[in-house]
Chain A
Amino acid sequence: MSARHALTVAVTGINARADNPGPGLAVARCLKESAHLDVRVVGLAYDAFDPGLYLPEWCDAAYLLPYPSAGEEAFMARLAELHETTAFDVLIPCLDAELPILARLAPWLEERGIVAMLPTVEQIRLRAKDRLADLAREAGIACPETKSLFREDFFHACSGEGWHWPLVVKGLFYDAKVAHGPAEAVAAFRRIAGEWGLPILAQQFSPGEEINLTGLGDGEGRLVGAVMMKKRALTDKGKAWAGISIHDTALLDAARRLVAATRWRGPLEVEVMRAADGTLSLIEINPRFPAWVYLSAGVGRNLPETLVRLALGETLAELPPAPAGTLFIRYALEAIVPLSDFDAVVTQGERG
């Protein structure tokens, strides 16, 4: 067996909260278990309590970043500084809110030799929750009606405009709540707007069972690899606590059409509802790996590893279909942190 290619990969989203984990630690774990790559993982966090900062088994080094929303210049300066000191070869952003900014900064990243296999700004716009229906139509997939809202009045008038309850009230980046009437919808509107800002989206509820796919687009219209999953147990926030790999050819074909229609570049997660008659309805496309991406390593289709190999210019054949019937179950653990590490993170922004 040839030696594994040694390189450094920076990963964001290492906020593995038990009830609603970010994908970063799962991505880091996939990379550490790569059969082809010898990866030094640099974890990039936004909060001193992001657990990835304190887990050297997955993140060899870890640093704090300022939130991009607090000022793009400070964010860019810190990223450039960390690239200079840690010399990461590839950057894998794992949070929805980072993607539009980093896609815009693609030329800046490239100038600094930072490889990031990102969708373009236009691709990210195409899959935005308020434009999803157009993309779904182009790819020949059903999609529930969705409306972008800046005022909560809509929920009192919507029944007269052809909408029927329940509706799903969603934040543009995060959070969703199924509302069965105007009072519940208005409460969800206020809570989500307070946390994530406007607009809020109202989406017609699609009955059925949710199934998900994570995959990788090569930027030329090809889906290089995909893993599908059905959630089997949920957290209070509706996130997967347990899930099982599945093989649904209709979902796979839908994802292929979406990737072809957008010429998607990089990772994505496709969320659909499957009705009792088997019809699929597209409810969301996330422009990054999901938190359950470690399942891809679990079924022998390590998608983060594949992403890095593609980003480095390797030409890869499409991965064979992943086997169905592999279960994952999350669990919460306590990382024990010496005061000196906590001190270093809080005062210097790093655990080097």
Chain B
Amino acid sequence: MSLKDHNEVDGMPPSRFPSAEILSMLAISNSGFVFDPVSGASYTVNASGLAILDLLRGGCAGVEEAVGKLGEAFDAPAGVLERDVIEFAARLRALFR
């Protein structure tokens, strides 16, 4: 786990998520199926990915807050959750511009 590594993914701060406006356009089902109505692409996310997306769409803006809330739902060390959230943020930024 390294903040630096993720900083280098696209030069953006690791805590940066796609805008709430972009994320709000996504069609997301409880099964983890995600559809982007602009690109026509679809994805599947696992339970933790779905939980992060739900948090972001619910107004959660930062890694720290996301990690705290995920910690209530998932039995995992905070460091692991933080790494997952940062990786997921980088992936979201790459997919949803």
On A, residues with C-beta under 8 Å from B are 209, 211, 229-230, 232, 243-248, 274, 276-278, 324-325
24 A-B pairs (CB sep. < 8 Å): A209-B39, A211-B39, A211-B40, A229-B40, A230-B41, A232-B40, A244-B35, A244-B40, A244-B42, A245-B40, A246-B38, A246-B39, A247-B37, A248-B38, A248-B39, A274-B39, A277-B97, A278-B97, A324-B27, A324-B35, A324-B37, A324-B38, A324-B40, A325-B37
Taking CB atoms, residues of chain A closer than 8 Å to B35 are 244, 324-325
- B35 — nearest CB in chain A belongs to which residue? A325
Chain B positions 25-51 with a Cβ under 8 Å from a chain A Cβ? 27, 35, 37-42
User: Count the A-B residue pairs with Cβ separation under 8 angstroms: how many?
Assistant: 33
With a 10 A CB-CB cut-off, give which of B38, B39, B40 has the most chain A CB atoms: B40
Q: How many residues of B contact A (CB 8 A)?
A: 9
For the complex, what is the distance from the CA of A15 to the CA of B52, rounded to whole Å?
Answer: 49
Taking CB atoms, residues of chain A closer than 8 Å to B27 are 324-325
For the complex, what is the distance from the CA of A209 to the CA of B95, rounded to whole Å?
Answer: 13
CB distance from B17 to the nearest CB of A (A): 18
Do A230 and B97 touch (CB < 8 A)?
Answer: no
Q: Which of B38, B41, B42 contacts A247 (CB 8 A)?
A: B38
Taking CB atoms, residues of chain A closer than 8 Å to B39 are 209, 211, 230, 246, 248, 274
Taking CB atoms, residues of chain B closer than 8 Å to A324 are 27, 35, 37-38, 40
Taking CB atoms, residues of chain B closer than 8 Å to A248 are 38-39
CB distance from A272 to the nearest CB of B (A): 13
For the complex, what is the distance from the CA of A324 to the CA of B97, rounded to whole Å?
Answer: 18
For the complex, what is the distance from the CA of A229 to the CA of B38, rounded to whole Å?
Answer: 10
For the complex, what is the distance from the CA of A246 to the CA of B38, rounded to whole Å?
Answer: 5
Ranked nearest first, the 4 interchain pairs of A and B with the lowest CB-CB distance are A230-B40, A324-B37, A246-B40, A244-B40
For the complex, what is the distance from the CA of A247 to the CA of B97, rounded to whole Å?
Answer: 15
CB distance from A34 to the nearest CB of B (A): 27
For the complex, what is the distance from the CA of A146 to the CA of B37, rounded to whole Å?
Answer: 31
With a 10 A CB-CB cut-off, give which of B27, B35, B37 has the most chain A CB atoms: B37
Taking CB atoms, residues of chain B closer than 8 Å to A232 are 40
With a 10 A CB-CB cut-off, give which of A243, A244, A277 has the most chain B CB atoms: A244
With a 10 A CB-CB cut-off, give which of B38, B41, B42, B97 has the most chain A CB atoms: B38
For the complex, what is the distance from the CA of A278 to the CA of B41, rounded to whole Å?
Answer: 14
- B27 — nearest CB in chain A belongs to which residue? A325
For the complex, what is the distance from the CA of A243 to the CA of B41, rounded to whole Å?
Answer: 10
For the complex, what is the distance from the CA of A211 to the CA of B37, rounded to whole Å?
Answer: 12
CB distance from A212 to the nearest CB of B (A): 10
For the complex, what is the distance from the CA of A158 to the CA of B27, rounded to whole Å?
Answer: 45
Taking CB atoms, residues of chain A closer than 8 Å to B42 are 244
